[in-house]
Structure 1
Amino acid sequence: MKTKTQALAAIAVATALAATYATTTLTSASADSNSGSDKPVHVEVFAPSEGDNAGISGAGWFVDLDVDFDGSTLAQTGFTGLQLTGPAAHNNIAPFPGTFSTGRDDRMPGLVVLTSTTNNTLPGFSGPGTNLANLFNLTGVTNRDSQGTELWDTWIVGAPIAGKNVDTTLTVAVIADLNHNGIYDDAPNVITDQNGDRRIDRRDLKAIGVASNIETVTFHLNGDPA
């Protein structure tokens, strides 16, 4: 009886270990699938961070991101020049001109930046599908070597374009080389509802085609004044 009990216990332990291993393996595979590690471009968002309470009355928050193009020359990234730009008198002027509007960025034309609460009332904005990449103020080259090219992009949000006192999700990715010209320059001005689920999110970017991981950050837009 003792031998039979020990055998059953051993089988139970082995079964539990096998189940744990299978679960761990599946979880790891899922994480690898979502990481975009097999993509030629890697996007990392440094600001905002998950769960932040950012800004003043819906404005004054940053998007700060790094884009690594593995194995790509500067020209292949789509980069067209340094920029230091902004609204009104700051728009497209020396020493580092760049246009300032919604839509595809004239300096990093493969980039898509979305928020889930982008308004559709201000001129140029058409809701959550609006590509916000061309509103970035500062674009530069942080590394170039035989392994690839790294670009840095920063935006200080000057108006409550995504609302105030509301949770929002930032989504960032680089669109694939859709026209096969060897350059990442195919980001749309507006992302449309590709799968008909009445929302614009990472699934629509996947349907269009991406060259990078798709980074998402959910945070709160502070509605309080300064």
Structure 2
Amino acid sequence: MNRTRRTLLGGAAALTLIGLAAPAALAAPAAPAHNTHHPKHAPVGVRILTPTPGSNAGSGGKGWMVDLVAVYPSLKASGFTGPQLTGPAAHANTAPFPGAFSTGADEHLPGLVVLGSTTNSTLPGFTGPGTNLANLFNLTSQIDTQKHFVAIQDTWIVGAPILGSNVNTTLTVAIIKDRNHDGIYNDAPATVPDANHDGRIDAADLRALGVVGGIQTVRLHLAGE
């Protein structure tokens, strides 16, 4: 089997993995399949598994979950530094799978951006909807490794009403492109700027920043008490 055929099969397998793992209502992210030896030409994508569109999630704005799967051409390209099981207070940086717990880019999956359209700006570390919430994710693990791709699952149990309560909100998730050209998707910012100055931080601002593999959005309601 020649290199081109192997590469196409690897790309198809990666996108199939994302497609099978998610609700049919969410389209698989588009991703080119040309050369898996460099991230700029490799299949990359992210899919939100939970919540589903239209959910009435949690209670009092907390106790709900964000669960997603990210696919990369290789473990090195993902920037993944190992599994984590973390959380607030005593749960942060605790064995056996320590991880930081704060806003900003996740050191375990440093290319991921997760935004909430109603994220508050009053709690320490939160600057409103542009805040990258990726480093608040509690559980990160490598769930599938094949010759031409690796899949990493990332989960966040939301323990406080940081996106509000009894409010409609939109989650927006993407992987930032390889901006520094080091062959690794590790360039997610702590805060996404309002690039088009429209008073919102959303998919348009992520496109201006530069993403790879598409952008996923889910609109849902966060239940009140």
Range class of TM-score, shorter chain: 0.7 to 0.9
Q: State the SS of the aligned residue for 1:211.
A: strand
User: Does residue 192 of the first structure (1) align with residue 185 of the second (2)?
Assistant: no
Return the alpha-carbon distance in structure 2 between the equivalents of residues 125 and 158 of structure 1.
15
Residue number among 44, 65, 69 corresponding to 2:68 in the alignment: 65
Give the match for residue 18 of structure 1: none
Provide the aligned length of Structure 1 versus Structure 2: 189
The letter for the 2-side match of 1:57 is G
Deviation per CA, 1:138-170, whole angstroms, max 9, x where unpaired?
A: 000011111211000000000000000000000
Residue number among 44, 47, 59 corresponding to 1:44 in the alignment: 47
Return the alpha-carbon distance in structure 2 between the equivalents of residues 138 and 38 of structure 1.
26
Return the alpha-carbon distance in structure 1 between the equivalents of residues 48 and 129 of structure 2.
19
Return the alpha-carbon distance in structure 2 between the equivalents of residues 48 and 176 of structure 1.
25
Query: If each structure's helix is expressed as a fraction of its own residues, which one has the higher value?
Result: 1
> Post-superposition shift, 1:68?
1.2
The letter for the 1-side match of 2:30 is S
Give the match for residue 138 of structure 2: 137
Higher-Rg structure is: 1
TM-score normalised according to structure 1 size = 0.82
Return the alpha-carbon distance in structure 2 between the equivalents of residues 200 and 35 of structure 1.
23
Q: State the SS of the aligned residue for 2:218.
A: strand
CA RMSD of aligned residues (A): 1.1
TM-score normalised according to structure 2 size = 0.82
Give the match for residue 6 of structure 2: none
**Does the 8 Å contact 2:114/2:174 carry over to 1?**
yes
Q: State the SS of the aligned residue for 2:77.
A: helix
Return the alpha-carbon distance in structure 1 between the equivalents of residues 185 and 94 of structure 2.
25
> Post-superposition shift, 1:221?
0.3
Return the alpha-carbon distance in structure 2 between the equivalents of residues 73 and 42 of structure 1.
12
The letter for the 1-side match of 2:158 is V
Give the match for residue 117 of structure 1: 118
**Does the 8 Å contact 2:29/2:46 carry over to 1?**
no
After TM superposition, what 4+ stretches of structure 1 lie above 4 angstroms from structure 2? Answer: none
> Post-superposition shift, 1:35?
5.5
Give the match for residue 53 of structure 1: 56
Return the alpha-carbon distance in structure 1 between the equivalents of residues 129 and 177 of structure 2.
20
The letter for the 2-side match of 1:74 is L
Give the match for residue 81 of structure 1: 82
The letter for the 2-side match of 1:51 is G
Unaligned runs of 5+ in 2: 1-26, 33-42
> Post-superposition shift, 1:36?
3.6
Unaligned runs of 5+ in 1: 1-33
Give the match for residue 175 of structure 2: 174
The letter for the 2-side match of 1:66 is V
The letter for the 2-side match of 1:67 is A
> Post-superposition shift, 1:61?
0.5
**Does the 8 Å contact 2:140/2:153 carry over to 1?**
yes
Return the alpha-carbon distance in structure 1 between the equivalents of residues 185 and 212 of structure 2.
8
